[in-house]
A = this chain, B = another copy of it.
Amino acid sequence: MSKTKDLGSSKKPDRIRSSTLRPETLGRLDTIDTRAKPGFDGSKSDGAKLLTKRGERLAGLQELLYAGGRSGDTRSVLLVLQGMDTSGKGGIVRHVMGMVDPQGVSHASFGKPTDEELEHDFLWRIKKKLPDPGQIGVFDRSHYEDVLVVRVHDLVPMPVWQKRYEEINAFERELVDAGTTVVKAMLHISPDAQRERLAKRLDRPDKYWKFNPADIDERAYWSGYQEAYQAMLEETDTDVAPWHVVPADRKWYARLAITELVIDALEAMDLGWPDPDFDVEHEKKRLAES
């Protein structure tokens, strides 16, 4: 343990615990500093170094989960990412889930529903994309859009979306009962951070494709969205599927925090290498003769 390297700083970059990021710890959205780094004292470069290291841990745990899935363990993990446009959801998929074996990750992003999807219950399209046993599923947006954009723009009558909080809680409880650990994270940015990020997309021809003029129109509804997010946190922050709020003006912090949330979830599953369901010595002999 080469402590000498850390003489300059008495505070070592610590692990970000899931509990640090719970709404009950951080308080209401409008009181949270979106540039904060809860649970982490280090700099950006400390964060990058730690991310690489923790990425290895994440990959190791993911392999255990995957191995279990191939051996009859029906458990899985679902990471639900929500946040305003440009909050960094795609970057999480790329830079966090990009650290693990693609075979063990299923990714789905939920945009504006298609006509077919609108003909069904709002959970219909969600249920089709749930992770298989042994998989980490990542939802870039999710069923929560149906109490966010839908609420802000009155896309369905209030009694309809109001009922959805309860429906979502029941749905997630079912998921958890069936063996899926649900990790919910809201990436929380400021309107100024969003303006900067949108401006970058307008500055580079290789980023134009990420820009949509409607993103600017949506900025007029910022406070409505914040209210909807706050209500979401209050209505659906359950014991079985708790929410986490990740201050996300610093992308590197958000990536590290999400990595830790998924690691926490996997560690809580008490994973191990599956026992062989065959006689190892016997199989070695058979193989040698084959």
Contacts and interface: CB of A to CB of B under 8 A. Distances in A.
A199 B280 CA distance: 10
A105 interface: yes
B102 A273 contact: no
A216 B287 contact: yes
A129 to B, nearest CB: 11
Contacts of A107: 102-103, 106
A199 B284 contact: yes
A208 B274 contact: yes
A216 B98 contact: no
A85 to B, nearest CB: 12
Contacts of A67: 206, 209-210
Contact of A287 (B198, B274, B284, B288): B198
Given A211-B283, A273-B208, A280-B208, A290 B102 contact: no
B105 A216 contact: no
A147 B264 CA distance: 44
A130 to B, nearest CB: 15
B290 A219 contact: yes
Interface string A124-141: 000000000000001010
A94 interface: yes
Contacts of A198: 287
Given A70-B209, A278-B213, A284-B199, A290 B94 contact: no
Interface in A197-248: 198-199, 202, 205-206, 208-211, 213, 216, 219-220
Nearest to A208: B276
A229 B79 CA distance: 40
A46 interface: no
Nearest to A218: B290
A290 B93 contact: no
A93 to B, nearest CB: 5
A97 B195 CA distance: 33
B98 A93 contact: no
Pick the 7 closest A-B CB pairs, nearest first: A208-B276, A67-B209, A219-B290, A94-B101, A209-B274, A97-B102, A213-B278
6 contacts: A71-B209, A103-B107, A195-B287, A195-B290, A202-B287, A213-B278
